[in-house]
Structure 1
Amino acid sequence: MINARFMSFFFVGSILILRCVPTFCFVHTHTNYFNKHLVTNVNNLSKSRKYSNIRDSAWFIDGPPLETKPDYDNIHGPLGKTVDGIFLSIFRMKMAEKVGFDSDLPKNDYSGLIELSAALNSRYSDRTEVQNIAHNILRALFPSWLPGAFDWMFAKPFPEFSARMNAWATLMAGTWLMGECELNDCEIDGGGIGKSQGLLVKRCRFMEDSGCASICVNSCKIPTQNFFNEDMGLPLTMTPDYETGECQFSFGLSPTGESELVAKNTPCLSRCPSSGGMRNWHDDKSDKIILKSLVPTDSQCFLMEEDLEDKLIPQNQ
């Protein structure tokens, strides 16, 4: 009979190889794909007379200073640059399958991944659709049997071990994607502190390259939490800090309505690459409706709002 130590090693290895799971961020306007496929959409929205530039609104924050931006290309995970390149290539291949095409950039070029991320977010206007697709891509990165097996073999009987294992695997396999990380203690369900069950991303590369809090929440935070909570049976709460660029992964901590509301109420980032246009693109269900207020200057990002029905009116009214 296979002993527990071997099974633990096997699952850790599986997660390490396949746990390249950031979800998806928006892209700066300097990338080729963004220029060809997305700028037209967001520029048309931002030129609307109903559009209110977020930089004139009280609802924005500057984010981490550009002067202290790390040299992300020279930040590598514990397994080294070569293995990081393999992780990038695997993840990009899976993303390209879902998006339907690939970037012309080399397979190990991070900018190619960003171009595909822009394509994903520009293709689907419904934020819930983006969340669901991101969730499904995470599922596709793992063998179909693994999440369910992990749930009953590890997450339920050994919750603390499972949380520490996933925090460690995220550090090993996710540094190339997110930037410098470190294991830490974190709050867990029941009010206790989980030793080494957390992972602190010191300044998230995806968050910084996206420049968009809505993309962070709808294509990374929510679908990643859903994957671990629903598929792996392991509670996870991700807490991004848009002022500093940090993101705290807390394995063993279930998301609450209050914690999710804090993330959804975050202001826009002042250097949003679409000048707020992406918020209007998402949830625009047809060309027969318009928004009463494309970018409300007295509330949080439109893309984050829960109830959109009262924001939509027929175009002929």
Structure 2
Amino acid sequence: MEAKLLSQYRGVSSVIRAGQKVTQKPKSSQVIVGVLARPADNMSKFTDPGNAYKDTWFDHIAINHLSQTLQSTTGIRNNKSGYDSLVEAATAAAQSFNPKEQQEVVLRALEKAFPLPILSLIRTLTPQSKFGRECFAIFTTFFFTWLIGYCQVKKSEEDGKTERNVVHIKKCRFLEETKCVGMCINLCKMPSQRFIKDSLGMQINMVPNFEDMSCKMIFGEDPPAPADDPALKQPCYKMSCKAKQKHSMDCSS
């Protein structure tokens, strides 16, 4: 089957969870969903045990906070700890909600995880400017390596002008752990782009590379239209997708 793109609108949705039917009525706005229909075949390059992450006390606090917030938002709890707990919470969301709902769940979790006064302060101190874009890039490399893995600030050039507004993630920790294109798109890229723009006032284009699991976060740049975004056309990994394990499902439909 060919990869498809769907543009859906939030509406009333019913979710069956723990034997109960919960009716949800999110706010009305457009949500872009990547539908990835054909799995990729070659995963041999990703069969290594992965990077050995040495999380600090701050990393553990941040990971636990985000994991618990996501679990609270979805209503699905797990008993794991550390980054495994966050991956388990994200996997449960991917298995329990459709792509549109996954994006909404993450948005609500991010809004809970970051207090409004802090978001307002960041938005005030880092306006849309070269200074603001470079501050966002530096801030990301200092405070979010626990989530995305090793990263560094890179330069971009446009119209002969350069600025250090790009964060290059050598190998995304979340994608490496989940090995799921659908989870990358619906639980990271799409909701993060919306959250950073709507809550912090900064445009951002997240450009994952599904060949080597690297990613670029380009602050100050709007993402391409859904029909032109290569990430939304990428098929999922066939053999090792975390969302498919123990469940017969299409993780990105």
TM category (shorter chain) comes to 0.7 to 0.9
Between 251-260 and 164-173, the greater mean CA deviation after superposition: 251-260
8 Å CA contact retained: 1:241, 1:247: yes
Alignment partner of 1:132 out of 94, 104, 129: 104
Matched, 1:235 2:203: yes
Q: Distance in 2 between matches of 1:278 and 1:186?
A: 40
Compared with structure 1, are the counterparts of its residues 180 and 152 closer, same or farther at alpha carbon in structure 2 (3 Å cutoff)?
A: closer
Q: Distance in 2 between matches of 1:63 and 1:200?
A: 23
Q: Report the structure, 1 or 2, having the larger strand content.
A: 2
Compared with structure 1, are the counterparts of its residues 235 and 278 closer, same or farther at alpha carbon in structure 2 (3 Å cutoff)?
A: farther
- Mapping 1:256-295, distance limit 5 Å: 256-257=224-225, 261-271=229-239, 272-273=241-242, 274=244, 277-279=248-250
- Mapping 1:1-317, distance limit 5 Å: 60-62=40-42, 65-66=45-46, 68-74=48-54, 76=55, 81-106=56-81, 109-124=82-97, 126-156=98-128, 159-186=129-156, 194-257=162-225, 261-271=229-239, 272-273=241-242, 274=244, 277-279=248-250, 303=253
Count of paired positions: 215
Q: Report the structure, 1 or 2, having the larger helix content.
A: 1
Compared with structure 1, are the counterparts of its residues 73 and 64 closer, same or farther at alpha carbon in structure 2 (3 Å cutoff)?
A: farther
Matching residue's letter, 2:40: F
Q: Distance in 2 between matches of 1:191 and 1:120?
A: 42
8 Å CA contact retained: 1:61, 1:268: no
Secondary structure of the corresponding residue to residue 268 of structure 1: coil
Q: Distance in 1 between matches of 2:140 and 2:227?
A: 22
The CA deviation at 1:246 is 0.2
Q: State percent identity of aligned pairs.
A: 22
Compared with structure 1, are the counterparts of its residues 270 and 147 closer, same or farther at alpha carbon in structure 2 (3 Å cutoff)?
A: same
Pairwise CA RMSD: 2.8
Secondary structure of the corresponding residue to residue 250 of structure 2: helix
Name 1:292's counterpart in structure 2: none
8 Å CA contact retained: 1:236, 1:255: yes
Compared with structure 1, are the counterparts of its residues 204 and 87 closer, same or farther at alpha carbon in structure 2 (3 Å cutoff)?
A: same
The CA deviation at 1:258 is 6.4
8 Å CA contact retained: 1:147, 1:232: yes
Between 128-137 and 265-274, the greater mean CA deviation after superposition: 265-274
TM-score (normalised: structure 1): 0.60
The CA deviation at 1:235 is 0.8
8 Å CA contact retained: 1:135, 1:223: yes
Compared with structure 1, are the counterparts of its residues 192 and 213 closer, same or farther at alpha carbon in structure 2 (3 Å cutoff)?
A: farther
Secondary structure of the corresponding residue to residue 164 of structure 1: helix
* CA deviation string 1:244-293 (max 9, x = no partner): 0101111111112168521111122132241795436xxxxxxxxxxxxx
* CA deviation string 1:89-119 (max 9, x = no partner): 221221222122532224xx22111111122
The CA deviation at 1:64 is 7.3
TM-score (normalised: structure 2): 0.74
The CA deviation at 1:154 is 2.7
Please list every run of 5 or more consecutive structure 1 residues that lacks an aligned counterpart in the other structure. Answer: 1-36, 38-53, 281-301, 304-317
Name 1:297's counterpart in structure 2: none
8 Å CA contact retained: 2:70, 2:106: no
8 Å CA contact retained: 2:156, 2:162: yes
Between 257-266 and 133-142, the greater mean CA deviation after superposition: 257-266
8 Å CA contact retained: 1:167, 1:196: yes
The CA deviation at 1:236 is 0.3
Q: Distance in 1 between matches of 2:201 and 2:126?
A: 9
Q: Distance in 2 between matches of 1:214 and 1:93?
A: 22
The CA deviation at 1:69 is 4.8
Q: Distance in 1 between matches of 2:89 and 2:99?
A: 17
Compared with structure 1, are the counterparts of its residues 83 and 146 closer, same or farther at alpha carbon in structure 2 (3 Å cutoff)?
A: closer
Compared with structure 1, are the counterparts of its residues 61 and 197 closer, same or farther at alpha carbon in structure 2 (3 Å cutoff)?
A: farther
Q: Which has the higher contact order (CA 8 A, sep 6+)?
A: 1
Between 159-168 and 270-279, the greater mean CA deviation after superposition: 270-279
Q: Distance in 2 between matches of 1:63 and 1:185?
A: 31
